[in-house]
Amino acid sequence: MQHLWNDPDQATESNLISIAVMHNGLVLLEDCKTILRRDYSNMIDKVKLISGGGSGNEPAYTGFVGPGMLTAAICGDISSAPPVNTILRVIDEIGTDHLPGVLLIVPNYPGHRINFGLAKLRAEKMGIYVKMIIVGDDVCLENETSIEKRGLVGILFINKIAGAMAENGENLETIYNVCNRIINSGEIATISIGMKISFSYKDNLCSRNINVTEMEIGYGIHGESGICQVNSIEDVVTVIVHKLVILSQNSNEMTSDRRFPVGHSVAVIINNFGGSNQIECNIFTLEVLKQLKLLDLLVQRVYTGYLMTSLDSSGFQVSLLNLSVDPNLIKYLDSITLAPAWPKVLTAEMVGFEQEYCNDNLSSIKAEGPMIDDRTGQVLLIIISFACEALIACTEQLNIMDEECGDGDCGTTLARGANAIKTAIKGNKINGSNPFITFMHISCIIEKEMGGLQGGLYSLFFHAVAKVKVFAETDDEVIPRTWLNALIAGNKVISEFGKVSFGDRTMLDPLISAQNVLSNSLDIQMHPIQAFGEAVKAAEKCAIQTVYTRIHKTSLMKCKKFKYPDPGAHAIGIWMRAAYEGVKLKLVCQCEL
Same domain, 332 and 247: yes
How many Å apart are CA 202 and CA 212, to the nearest integer? 9
How many Å apart are CA 101 and CA 98, to the nearest integer? 6
Same domain, 21 and 166: yes
Same domain, 428 and 528: yes
Asked if residue 99 is part of any domain, the answer here is yes
Would you tell me how many other CB atoms lie within 10 Å of the CB of residue 380? 21
Identify the pLDDT of residue 358.
41
Same domain, 336 and 390: no
Identify the pLDDT of residue 185.
92
Asked if residue 3 is part of any domain, the answer here is no
Residue 321's CATH number = 3.30.1180.20
Same domain, 81 and 55: yes
Structural domain count of the chain: 3
Asked if residue 203 is part of any domain, the answer here is no
Residue 415's CATH number = 1.25.40.340
Same domain, 555 and 493: yes
**Best CA proximity match to 190, nearest among 63, 61, 308:** 308
The question of whether 23 is a catalytic residue gets the answer no
Quick check: 53 and 81 in contact, CB under 8 A? yes
How many Å apart are CA 300 and CA 264, to the nearest integer? 10
Asked if residue 359 is part of any domain, the answer here is no
Asked if residue 362 is part of any domain, the answer here is no
Q: pLDDT tens across 25-77, in order?
A: 999 998 899 999 999 999 999 999 999 999 999 999 999 999 999 999 999 98
Identify the pLDDT of residue 198.
53
How many Å apart are CA 196 and CA 103, to the nearest integer? 34
How many Å apart are CA 35 and CA 14, to the nearest integer? 12
Same domain, 172 and 216: no
Identify the pLDDT of residue 408.
84
Same domain, 163 and 193: no
Measured CA to CA in angstroms, residue 49 lies from 25, 165, 310, 473 at distances of 16, 11, 24, 75
Asked if residue 583 is part of any domain, the answer here is yes
Asked if residue 368 is part of any domain, the answer here is no
**Best CA proximity match to 329, nearest among 106, 151, 178:** 178
Identify the pLDDT of residue 353.
52
- Residue 134 belongs to what domain range? 8-185
Would you tell me how many other CB atoms lie within 10 Å of the CB of residue 562? 16
Helix axes 84-95, 110-125, angle to 10 degrees: 40
Cis? peptide before 435, omega within 30° of 0: no
Mean pLDDT by groups of 10 residues along the chain of 593 residues: 64 90 94 95 96 94 97 92 95 96 96 95 97 94 66 97 98 98 95 75 43 72 79 75 80 68 96 90 89 94 95 92 96 96 84 48 66 87 94 94 83 93 91 87 88 85 82 67 91 86 90 96 93 95 83 45 88 95 71 43
- Where on the phi/psi map is residue 271: left (φ > 0), alpha (ψ -120 to 50), or beta? beta
**Best CA proximity match to 98, nearest among 74, 121, 131:** 131
Identify the pLDDT of residue 195.
86
How many Å apart are CA 101 and CA 96, to the nearest integer? 9
Counting Cα atoms < 13 Å in the Cβ hemisphere of 349 gives 0
Would you tell me how many other CB atoms lie within 10 Å of the CB of residue 147? 11
How many Å apart are CA 435 and CA 567, to the nearest integer? 28
Identify the pLDDT of residue 555.
42
Same domain, 391 and 535: yes
**Best CA proximity match to 492, nearest among 480, 483, 501:** 501
How many Å apart are CA 463 and CA 442, to the nearest integer? 8
Same domain, 166 and 313: no
Same domain, 319 and 427: no
Positive or negative, the Cα torsion across 44, 47, 50, 51? negative
Same domain, 273 and 399: no
Write down the catalytic residue from 222, 242, 527, 552.
222
Asked if residue 381 is part of any domain, the answer here is yes
Residue 116's CATH number = 3.40.50.10440
